[in-house]
Structure 1
Amino acid sequence: MKREKNLKRIAELLAWIQAKVQLFNKLHYLDINISSETFFADLLNLVMDLNFSNLNQQNMNNPYADLYDQMNNIYCQVTSEKTSGKIKESIDGVESLVSSDKDSRLIIFLLTSKPRFTTDFVTKKITFCKDNDIIDMSKLLHIISTKDNAKVLIIKEYLEHNLDAINEKEKTICSEDETIIQIIDYLSNTQTLSDEIDSIIDPHDKINRRFSSYAEYIKDEYKDLYVAYGISLSTVYGSLINDEIKRAIHNRYLKTLSVKALEICQNNPKMALDNLVIELNNVISSNGRNYDKSAIRFYLVDQIIKCNVFPNEVKYAN
């Protein structure tokens, strides 16, 4: 029973790493760096009984390999880019590093799920097999499942010790980036497109005339929160809301959601904003994570200015 429990815990931790990588890839960030490549070197050493060291720690930075096992002459590229082009680039790069008289091997440690590669990867000076030498989290878990109970326990304890974010996930608040990403994912991936609300984009009229009693409050909210969240919002929003259909879904859904909230709160934008923060937080926190409510609030205030929250419906236009 302990073995089964330990393997399940390892599966959860590896799944968290993969989910984190996929989340950051949506922002076109570089590969996730949990504790530098050393983390992955030590993990692979435990699982595969190898002797990887971090090439970057040895001041041997190169784009083709992150880890190297000198004893077994094995190079490893740690990446989240699952394309044939990336693998070919790694093969060519490692072959430029080795001499033909050495029996060198390349492993690709893929931090995302492995696709079905149809390409035949031709090598000249190194050993590389796409079936055996491309290792994703699922394959890594399979390898771990073949280990004895003592090794399984060691791997589990290693992951738990190093992935502090896992141990503290119920206690800590997610970053503003993660929070905003989750909001956008939720709003732009609804199953159906909300009815279009006939509206006019005029934030000045909305804030200074329609909500004149709350104008200073809205402006102050934006200014105060911008200092902490402005850069994150700009980065995330520009990266994720770049698809026309998703943008339309996002905007329509947000308009519909906020109009309903405003109606319930009898046209009080402050109260409606409070309710929207609670509603969105409840939705995205359903997975047990604790998100940054202030980041949610700033996102909604920014959308007030973009006229997707409390839209200027034509019937209210000046």
Structure 2
Amino acid sequence: MKRQRYYNEISERLEILASRIKTNGKLNVLDLNIHAETFYRDLLNCIYGYKLESANISSANMAAIDLIDNENKLVIQVSSTATRQKIENTLNKGKIVEYATDNYKIKFLFIAEEAQNLRSNKYSNPYNINFIPQEDILDKASLLTSISQLAIGSYSLVHDLFIREFGGAPNPSKITSNLASIVNLLAIEDLDEGDVSTNLNLYNIDEKIEFNELEVIKETTINEYIPYYTKLDRIYKEFEHEGKNKRVSVFRKLTSFYEKELCKKDISSVEKFFNIVNNVEEYIINSNNLDDFEEDVVEMCVKIITVDAFIRCKIFKNPKGYNHVAS
């Protein structure tokens, strides 16, 4: 699932950032804290829909707070030091009375250390600004919890922010794959118009769909991607010129993903089909030769490849006499 991959990449980057901030703090190198404050401003806006901006924009060196959202009446202090004293020192600053009077809420974001133990404490809050420790003390763990509960669209936006901020350096453990090469070729094709090959025996394909109990995705997935059979067939033929057995290796890899699904007796054929799609996509994304395409383009290409493999008898059982081309 995309969620799991997004979560792994996001949590890894947050851990690295927190560790770097903590180490630099011990060395009294604080440049990263300044840049991190801007990053966390964007992250909080992305997760919670806030409209935070730097408090220093409206007033240089604003005492007690770092980020402010005037529309939602929210102020946030961003700190690498997670202590009770840090919180109480801020709550006791004279500037807080102005925000308390205007009914602002205050939150504390600790970007280097865990703050779980601080949420159960009681704090001196002389100006009675809106502050609930259980809700308003944030750290990387609470942010990850909030991120994990986002709808997939919002999850993707958060993931995109991390990629833009931290980059997507290739994993040295990634390998080159022929499947990724096929996606590279397919993704640059003009797919606005598909052309169903006249050689395709659509009646037999319908039989195979019914035989494997895939009727529920016939219109929305299988028939949707059948029109690209001719384009992909041409790519396979061109690909074969680059070296012997390249096309065969692609088909065998697709079959291997299907064979793994055969071991799962307690799921439906539809679930197996989309498991294959997800596993193929994950495999391709983890290939170091995949060009820079949007994820939805890669997903579309993977579905074209998977449906094509279904038609070509590479995955799922064939009814008696099945042939994907007219005999």
After TM superposition, the score normalised by the length of structure 2 is 0.47
Q: Which has the larger radius of gyration?
A: 2
